[in-house]
Amino acid sequence: MEYYLICALIFGVAYLVNATYISIFYHRGLTHSAIELKPGLRKFVVASGPWVMGIDAKTWCTMHRLHHRHSDKESDPHSPLNSSIPRVIVEQLKSYERIMRGLIARKKQYTSEVPDLDFNVHWLYRNKLWWLPYALHLAISVGLSFALGGWLVGLAFYSGMVTHPIQGWLVNSFGHSMGYQTFDNGDNSRNNNIVSWLVMGEGYQNNHHKHPRSPKFSYRWFEVDYGYRICQAMQALGMITIEKDYLIRVVERRELEERAA
Ligand SMILES: [Zn+2]
Ligand SMILES: [Zn+2]
59-88 per-position pLDDT tens digit: 999 999 999 999 999 999 999 999 999 999
Of 118-127, 208-217, 243-252, the one with minimum mean pLDDT is 243-252
Neighbours of 65 (CB within 10 A): 18
How close is the Cα of 129 to the center of ligand 1, in Å?
29
How close is the Cα of 112 to the center of ligand 2, in Å?
17
Flag whether pLDDT at 246 surpasses 70. Answer: no
The pLDDT of residue 219 is 87
- Written as one string, the DSSP assignment of 166-191 is HHHHIIIIITTTSSB-SS--SS---B
How close is the Cα of 125 to the center of ligand 2, in Å?
24
pTM over 0.85? The answer is yes
Neighbours of 239 (CB within 10 A): 16
Give the strand pairing for 35-37 and 240-242: antiparallel
The pLDDT of residue 187 is 96
- Per-residue pLDDT of 140-182, as tens digits, reads 999 999 998 889 999 999 999 999 999 999 999 999 999 999 9
- Per-residue pLDDT of 27-49, as tens digits, reads 999 999 999 999 999 999 999 99
Task: Please tell me the number of the ligand nearest to residue 179's CA.
Answer: 1
How close is the Cα of 99 to the center of ligand 2, in Å?
17
Which is more confidently placed, 245 or 214? 214
With cut-offs at 50, 70 and 90, classify the pLDDT of residue 258: low
- The residues spanned by each domain of the chain are 2-260
How close is the Cα of 38 to the center of ligand 2, in Å?
20
How close is the Cα of 183 to the center of ligand 1, in Å?
13
Secondary element (H or E) of residue 36 = strand 35-37
- Name residues with Cβ closer than 5 Å to ligand 1, which is an ion: 205
DSSP 8-state class, residue 120: P
How close is the Cα of 149 to the center of ligand 1, in Å?
42
Flag whether pLDDT at 137 surpasses 60. Answer: yes
How close is the Cα of 174 to the center of ligand 2, in Å?
15
| Amino acid in position 95 | S
The pLDDT of residue 149 is 83
Alpha helices in the chain, H assignment, sequence order? 2-19, 39-53, 57-69, 88-104, 108-111, 123-126, 132-148, 151-161, 164-169, 193-198, 205-210, 226-236, 245-246, 253-260
Task: Please tell me the number of the ligand nearest to residue 34's CA.
Answer: 2
Share the mean pLDDT of the chain.
93
With cut-offs at 50, 70 and 90, classify the pLDDT of residue 260: low
Flag whether pLDDT at 131 surpasses 60. Answer: yes
- Report the distance separating Cα 21 and Cα 136, nearest Å: 18
- Report the distance separating Cα 231 and Cα 216, nearest Å: 9
How close is the Cα of 13 to the center of ligand 1, in Å?
25
Flag whether pLDDT at 247 surpasses 80. Answer: no
